[in-house]
Structure 1
Amino acid sequence: MKLTKLEAVDSIKYVAEKPTEASLKNEHDYLVAEKLTKKLLEKGLISQSEFDKIMVKNRETFSPFLAEIMS
């Protein structure tokens, strides 16, 4: 049997990195692209399958932090 020792929550340290200007721009550009892509889907100009493919490409292109935790 394998046992895992649990640490107290107080002993876990998290260091937040300050976002760079480039990462904030990528985040913004991703959100704009997402909004525009949703409008195309809502107007019937693209299918759900096309929407999904475009959003995958957007995540690859912009590498947004929030997309990773929202997906």
Structure 2
Amino acid sequence: MNHYENKKVTKITDEIIENRLEPKKVSQEQIQREFDYIRAEKLLKKMLEKGLITVAEFDKITALNRQTFSPVLAEIMP
């Protein structure tokens, strides 16, 4: 069996390059919310590790943090 079989090559053209997505501009407010979310999650993880909260409480607070801070990547976070 030839190891080149089933390989697909895509030619990059000017049309493909011109149709690429433009990067989104992030506001200072969004950056601050992202930072605050990360800080809150770090603190929450420390509380869980020390046994101050249960896993169920951790999950509930994490969900609330995502609603409160609206991090950009919340849609793909577990």
Q: CA deviation at 1:70?
A: 3.0
Q: Structure 1 counterpart of 2:47, which letter?
A: L
Q: Among residues 19, 23, 27, which one is paired with 1:16 in the alignment?
A: 23
TM-score (norm 1): 0.79
Specify the alignment match of 1:55 in structure 2: 62
2:28 is the alignment partner of 1:28? no
Which of the pair is proportionally richer in helix?
Answer: 1
Secondary structure of 1:18's match?
coil
TM-score (norm 2): 0.72
Which is greater in Rg?
Answer: 2
| Paired-residue identity, % | 50
4+ residue runs of structure 1 moved beyond 6 angstroms?
none
Gaps of 5+ in 2: 1-10
Q: Structure 1 counterpart of 2:49, which letter?
A: E
Alpha-carbon distance change, 43 to 57 in structure 1, aligned in 2, over 3 angstroms: same
* Pairing of 1:34-45 with structure 2 (within 5 A): 34-45=41-52
Contact (CA 8 Å) 1:27, 1:64: kept in 2 or not? yes
